[in-house]
Chains A and B, each alone.
Chain A
Amino acid sequence: GQSLEQPSEVTAVEGAIVQINCTYQTSGFYGLSWYQQHDGGAPTFLSYNALDGLEETGRFSSFLSRSDSYGYLLLQELQMKDSASYFCAEGAGSYQLTFGKGTKLSVIP
């Protein structure tokens, strides 16, 4: 089976950089995705890593190390609107997708 571990809560200051880590244990691995979910809203896709390395999309970057079974989401130039829950998820979109329990990010002035 799959399991993903991520911190439950993180607090950071507006304008700063924050890193949300995700470690995984899987019997098979397709790739690591990241989703953002605001309170009361639906999850929205942020980033996906199938290979080792860094993927950058604007202020957000995601990193994967298959050898370490580890990935992270990096948010730069934090804005108040970035306050949300962030989920790492393992699996390809067309197969069973397993989510971590989520990290609640609070951005403070």
Chain B
Amino acid sequence: EAQVTQNPRYLITVTGKKLTVTCSQNMNHEYMSWYRQDPGLGLRQIYYSMNVEVTDKGDVPEGYKVSRKEKRNFPLILESPSPNQTSLYFCASSFLAGEKDTQYFGPGTRLTVL
């Protein structure tokens, strides 16, 4: 089954404790992206990657890191989480320059930073 998976789905942590949210896709997509969703603000892009070892900042990259060592995986790293990073996070993937610009989203990770 074609899908984007994220882990963990739910996480409660404390300020300053490094964490990683994993994202994996099995569709051989070149493009992967991370978004955060906050009430009243919609989805905002954090980072995106157009292929292995190619990443770029989105609209709200501060406080986040990413890596793309393999095509299928795109982990999101919070080196020192803060309460303002409490949010719902989505990973997404798509083919590059597809006829239909369809992004496939993972199920989301709800993060709470105390």
Of residues 20 through 55 on chain B, the ones whose CB sits less than 8 Å from some CB of chain A are 30-31, 33, 35, 40-45, 48, 50
Q: How far is the CA of A50 from the CA of B96 in the complex (A)?
A: 15
B94 to A94, Cβ gap below 8 A? yes
Candidates A33, A43, A92; contact of B105 at CB < 8 Å = A43
Candidates B30, B42, B50, B98; contact of A99 at CB < 8 Å = B42
Q: How far is the CA of A103 from the CA of B42 in the complex (A)?
A: 10
From known contacts A93-B31, A93-B103, infer whether A43 and B43 are also in contact, taking CB-CB under 8 Å: yes
Q: Mark A82-109, 1 if CB is under 8 A from B, else 0.
A: 0000010101111011111110000000
- Chain A residues, CB < 8 A from B33: 97
Q: How many residues of A contact B (CB 8 A)?
A: 23
A31 at the interface (CB under 8 A from B): yes
B108 to A42, Cβ gap below 8 A? yes
Q: How many Cβ-Cβ contacts under 8 Å join chain A to chain B?
A: 67
Q: How far is the CA of A43 from the CA of B89 in the complex (A)?
A: 12
- Max chain A Cβ within 10 angstroms of own Cβ: one of B42, B100, B105, B106: B42
A44 at the interface (CB under 8 A from B): yes
- Chain B residues, CB < 8 A from A93: 31, 94-96, 98, 101-103
From known contacts A93-B94, A94-B31, infer whether A44 and B105 are also in contact, taking CB-CB under 8 Å: yes
Q: How far is the CA of A65 from the CA of B10 in the complex (A)?
A: 41
B42 to A101, Cβ gap below 8 A? yes
Q: Mark A24-59, 1 if CB is under 8 A from B, else 0.
A: 000000110100000001111100101000000000
B70 at the interface (CB under 8 A from A): no
B90 at the interface (CB under 8 A from A): yes
Known: A44-B105, A48-B102, A94-B95. 11 other contacts (CB 8 A): A48-B100, A93-B31, A93-B95, A94-B31, A94-B94, A94-B98, A96-B48, A97-B48, A97-B103, A99-B42, A101-B42
- 5 tightest A-B CB contacts, nearest first: A93-B101, A93-B94, A101-B42, A42-B105, A94-B96
